[in-house]
Amino acid sequence: MLNKNKKILPFLYLLPTAILLLVFMIVPILYTFYLSFFDWNLIAPTKEFVGLKNYVEVFTDPINQKVILNTLIYILFLIVLNFVIPYFISLIVKFFIKKMQGAYKVLFFIPSLFSLVVGAMLFTWILNPVSGPIAYLMKSLGMTMPNWSNSGILAITVICFITNWKVFGYNFILLLTGLGSIPANIIDAAKIDGIPKWKLIWNVILPMNRGIAIYVLILTIVQGLQYVFTPINVITTGGPYYGSSNIIYQTYLNAFVLYKTGTSSALAIVTFIVFLVLLFIEIRFVEGKAKNYA
């Protein structure tokens, strides 16, 4: 009797989460996959089966191609702004600055408490190329501010900076905590051996912090692409001519503005697969490392 209970109980404990996952994640994903083979406007009684047409469109339509390219640019910018720079600064704070570590943590973390909509509106005002404070300042110095919302690459840059403002502190703290968990005796040993600091960081610290670093890297990409959605929606609505759109905004635009659920679902499934691959990498490195310790 007791034995039987032991077998069932774990599943019973899992049940609430499993049901939630099933209802809110797995079923919608399966339904999205199903919808990606149809042409449907969200409400019409009939769905027209179109086979793989939506998937072909994802890769052949010039607008989608532009959007995929933008997505790659976004990823590159996000990695630099939200991963490389916070990592660099956390290394400096950890190994080169002795005082005020707590103050830096708090200061960097504050913006992540604000809503992105607020941030986006604030930055639209500050960075208004004609009438914003920065534009006025530049004018008084005899310069003109470029009209960034009319250039895809500049708009992407500004949008990435807005998300940077939001996630920098969070990523910084994660990385700093990771660095803090590296056993002190290893670092002390290296110091006694007289190994230069940069060599210590390159050969010892970075490899030992790899798990957290990969986790933050994946988070930067997956969460970053979702975070940029808000400023895109508030400021540029993907413009100029899809110049600042990314694959997630395009999925939204197709589904809820144009009611093209087929195209939208195909885009969503492609994104899903890309994220799945990233997740696989994360599991390989992060969880794999945990196994090594055990």
Partner 1 sequence: MKNNILKKFLLIMGVMSLAVLFAGCGKKTSSSSVKHITYWHVNAQTQGGATVDDLVKKFNDTHKNIKVTAKYNPDMYKGLMQNLQSAQASGKVPDVTQVGWAYDNYFSSNFKYMMPTDAAKKFDGNTKFIDDNFSKRTLSFAKDSKGNLVGLPYSLSTPVLFINKDILSKYNIDESSLTTWEGVKAASKTIHDQSGKYGLYIQEPGDTWAQQAVMLSNGADIQKNGKAAFASSNGIAAYKYYQEMVNSKLALHTPWAQGMDSFIKGDVAMAFTTIAQASHIKKSAVFNASAIVAPHFESHKTVVPVGGSMLAITAQDSEQQKAAWEFEKWMYKAESAVTWSKGTGYLPPTKVALESASFKDYVKENPMLEPAVKTLDNAIPWTSFPKKGLQAEQSMIDARDKILSGSNVQSTLKAAQDKINVEQK
Count Cα atoms within 13 angstroms, Cβ side, for 79. Answer: 11
In the bound state with partner 1, the residue whose beta carbon lies nearer, of 120 and 216, is 120
Q: At closest approach, how far in Å is the CB of 42 from partner 1?
A: 5
In the bound state with partner 1, the residue whose beta carbon lies nearer, of 39 and 206, is 39
Chain centroid to CA 51? 31
In the bound state with partner 1, the residue whose beta carbon lies nearer, of 64 and 90, is 64
In the bound state with partner 1, the residue whose beta carbon lies nearer, of 166 and 260, is 260
Q: At closest approach, how far in Å is the CB of 96 from partner 1?
A: 41
Q: At closest approach, how far in Å is the CB of 28 from partner 1?
A: 14
Q: At closest approach, how far in Å is the CB of 64 from partner 1?
A: 13
Chain centroid to CA 62? 25
Cα–Cα distance, 109 to 216 (Å, whole number)? 15
Measured CA to CA in angstroms, residue 145 lies from 138, 141, 162, 187 at distances of: 7, 11, 18, 48
SS3 135: helix
Binding residues for partner 1, per CB under 8 A?
Answer: 41-44, 121, 124-125, 128-131, 147, 149-150, 235-237, 239-242, 256-260
Q: At closest approach, how far in Å is the CB of 44 from partner 1?
A: 6
Angle between helices 62-79 and 210-227 (to 10 degrees): 140
DSSP H or E stretch at residue 145: none
Q: How far apart are the first and last CA of the chain?
A: 33
Q: At closest approach, how far in Å is the CB of 131 from partner 1?
A: 4
| Closest alpha carbon to 148 in 275, 20, 236 | 236
Tokens 């089966």 -> residue: 49
How many CB atoms sit inside 10 A of residue 7's CB?
8
In the bound state with partner 1, the residue whose beta carbon lies nearer, of 71 and 149, is 149
In the bound state with partner 1, the residue whose beta carbon lies nearer, of 20 and 258, is 258
Token pair recorded at residue 78? 């996000």
Q: At closest approach, how far in Å is the CB of 8 from partner 1?
A: 26
In the bound state with partner 1, the residue whose beta carbon lies nearer, of 128 and 223, is 128
How many CB atoms sit inside 10 A of residue 261's CB?
23
Amino acid of residue 273: I
